[in-house]
Structure 1
Amino acid sequence: MKAKTVDKIATIILYMISFFVILLLAAFVGYIIYKGKDSLNFKFLFGNPKIDEPGGGIGPQLFNSFYMLIISLLITIPLGLGAGIYLSEYAKEGKILNFIRLCIETMASLPSIVVGLFGLLVFVTMTGWGYTLISGALAITVLNLPSMTRVSENAIKAAGAKVKEASLGLGATQWQTIKNVILPSAMPQILTGVILSAGRIFGEAAALLYTAGMSAPVLRYTRFSLISKASPYSLFRPAETLAVHIWKLNSEGIVPDAGKIANGSSAVLIIMVLLFNVIARIIGNKIYKSYSGK
C-alpha cells in the first residue's frame, strides 16, 4: 500500500477513536443528568438532608464539597508547584533526585483507601482532631501532590527550554525568569494539573470516609448570612462531601427516596466538575494571553 493511503486509513481510524471517546463521555454525562434532572431545583440544592422522610436536600454536602475544594487546593497548589520548580530548575541529577522521583511515583500509585487509613491514623487519631474537614483536606493533598508535582515539573521544563536562555541573557535572575517568564508560559499545563486535582477532590470518597467523616452540620440560610450551630466555616468539624453522601445513600438506603437523591446528587456532582473545568480553562487562557501579549 502507498504511504498516502496508509496515512489516510490511520487518520480515519484515529478520528473514529476520538469520536467514540467523545460520544462515550457525552452518553455518560447525559445519562447521569437525565436520571437526576427531576431533583435539580433550588430546594434540593440548598435544602438540608432528611433521615426518615423523603424530600431531603444536599445543601450541607454541596457546601462541604466546595469548601473542601478550596482548602485542598490552597494546600496542594503551593506544595506541588514549589516541588515542580525545585525538581525542574534547582535539583541536580543524581541519586538524591532519583530517590525523590521514586518517592513521588510510589505516592502516586497508592490506593485512596490506603491514604484514607493513613489519614485516619495520623490526621484523625494522632493529632486528636477527629473527623474534620482539615483532616480530609490533608488526606486529599497526599493523593494529589504527586500528580501536581509531575505536571508542574514537566510543564516548567517544556516552557523553560524556549525562553530561559533568552531571559537570562537579558540580565534577569533565575528567580525572575521563573516567576515572570517560565511560569506564565507553563500556565496552561499547570492548569491541567489543577483541574485533575480538583476532579479528584470532587469525586473522592474512600479517603474522606476515614478522615472527614460521614456527617455534616445542618446549615441554615438567612437573609444576610449562612448560620449553623456547628460553625460551617470551621476547619475542625465533620464534613461529609457530595461523593461521600452518594456512597452513603447507596450503601445504607435508610432514606425512603435514597435512589432519587443519589441520582440528583450525581447529576449535581458531574455538572460541578464540568463547570469547574470550563471556568478554569477560561481563566487560565486569559492569564496566559495577558502574559504572552496575545
Structure 2
Amino acid sequence: MSNFSRTKYTARAQRNNRIATAAFYTLGVLVMLLIFWLLFTILSKGLPALRPDFLIKQPEEIDAGGGIGPVLFNSFYILFISLLISIPIGLGAGIYMAEYAPDNKFTGALRICVESLSSVPSIVFGLLGLAIFAEYFDVGLTILGGGVSLALLNLPMLARVTEESIRAVPGDIREAGYALGMTKFHVIRKVVLPVAMPAIVTGICLVAGRAFGESAVIILTAGLSTSGEMWDFNLFSPGETLAVHLWYVQSEAIVEDARQIADKSAAVLVFVVLLINAAFRFPLWLGNRRRGH
C-alpha cells in the first residue's frame, strides 16, 4: 500500500471514529434525558402531595383520603422473602456453572434452559405459583406464595448474571491465588467473588427492583387484598403489594381521589426502587473508597 493510500485510509478511519463516537454520545445523552424525563414526570406528580401519614394509613374502598400502609409493608415483606430464597440459590448456581460444572452438552443445554427461563413472561410464574400454593397445597393467595413465586421468577436471571460475572474475572487472578497455595474454594471466596461482586450486585439490584414492582405474579399468588393490619408477619395472610394496589386504584377503584392516590403511589414505588439500588451499591462504594479506588 502506497503512502497516499495509507494516509487516505487513516483519514477515513479517523473520520468514521469521530462520527461513531459522536453518534454513541448522542444516543447515550438521549437515553439519559428520556430516563430523567420519566423520573421527573412521575415524581413531580406524586411527591409534592405526599404526606407521612399516607405511608401508614389503611387503604380506603369508598371514602377519600386512604393510604398505602399495609400494601407498602407487604411489598417489602415479599421482597425480603424472595431475595432470601433467590440470592443464596442463584449465587450458588452461578458459581457452580462458572467454576465447577464440566464443559459438556448437558451443561450447555442447562445454560440454554436457564436463559430461556429468564425471558419467560412473569405471568407464567404466577400461574405456576397459583397451581402450587392455591391448588396443590390449598393454602390460598398468601404472602408466602407471592414471595416464593417471585424467587422462582428471579432465580434464572440471577444465576446467569452471577455466572457471567465470575467468568469475566481474568484467569491471571486465579492463577496468582493458586500460586500462593490457596485451594479452589478459597480462591473463589477470597479472590474471584470480590472482583466479580460489583457485577453481581448489579444483577441483585435488577431482580430486586423487578420483584418490588412486579404485579402479575402477586395478583395470581398473593391476591388483591390485605389482612387489614399494618404489621402483619403472618406468611399465610393475603399479600397485596404497592404495584398491585397502584394498578387497582388506577383501573377499578371508585374513591373520588383515586388519581391522586395513584400518582402518590407511583412516586413512592419509583423512589423505593431507586433507594433499593442505592442501598445495595453503597457498601461497594464505601469499600472502594476505603481501598482508595
- The question of a shared fold, defined as TM-score above 0.5 by the shorter chain, is answered with yes
Cα RMSD after superposing both structures: 1.6
Give the gaps of 5 or more residues in structure 2: 1-10
Structure 2: distance between partners of 1:100 and 1:252:
42
**Match in the other structure for 1:248:** 248
Residues 1-294 of structure 1 aligned to structure 2 (within 5 Å): 2-159=12-169, 161-220=171-230, 226=231, 232-287=232-287, 294=293
Shift, 1:201, TM fit: 0.8
Q: Is the contact between residue 115 and residue 160 of structure 2 (CA under 8 Å) also seen in structure 1?
A: no
Structure 2: distance between partners of 1:60 and 1:238:
11
Question: Which one-letter code corresponds to 1:184 in the other structure?
Answer: P
Give the gaps of 5 or more residues in structure 1: 221-225, 227-231
Compute the TM-score of the two structures, normalised by the length of structure 1. 0.91
Q: Flag the 1:108–1:45 CA change in 2: closer, same or farther, 3 A.
A: same
Shift, 1:219, TM fit: 3.0
Question: Which one-letter code corresponds to 2:26 in the other structure?
Answer: M
Structure 1: distance between partners of 2:135 and 2:185:
40
Q: Is the contact between residue 185 and residue 288 of structure 1 (CA under 8 Å) also seen in structure 2?
A: no
Structure 2: distance between partners of 1:289 and 1:150:
28
Q: Is the contact between residue 61 and residue 253 of structure 2 (CA under 8 Å) also seen in structure 1?
A: no
Q: Flag the 1:289–1:184 CA change in 2: closer, same or farther, 3 A.
A: farther
Q: Determine helix, strand or coil for the equivalent of 2:240.
A: coil
Shift, 1:184, TM fit: 0.9
Q: Flag the 1:235–1:277 CA change in 2: closer, same or farther, 3 A.
A: same
Shift, 1:279, TM fit: 2.2
The runs of at least 4 aligned residues of structure 1 exceeding 4 Å deviation read 287-290
Indicate the percent of aligned positions where both proteins have the same amino acid: 45
Structure 2: distance between partners of 1:131 and 1:42:
30
Number of aligned positions between the proteins:
283
Q: Deviations over 1:94-115 (max 9, x none)?
A: 1210221122122112111111
Q: Is the contact between residue 134 and residue 140 of structure 2 (CA under 8 Å) also seen in structure 1?
A: yes
Q: Could you tell which deviates more after superposition, 123-132 or 22-31?
A: 123-132
Question: Which one-letter code corresponds to 2:165 in the other structure?
Answer: A
Compute the TM-score of the two structures, normalised by the length of structure 2. 0.92
Structure 2: distance between partners of 1:147 and 1:80:
8
Shift, 1:38, TM fit: 4.1
Structure 1: distance between partners of 2:292 and 2:134:
48
Q: Could you tell which deviates more after superposition, 153-162 or 18-27?
A: 153-162
Q: Could you tell which deviates more after superposition, 256-265 or 78-87?
A: 256-265
Shift, 1:77, TM fit: 0.5
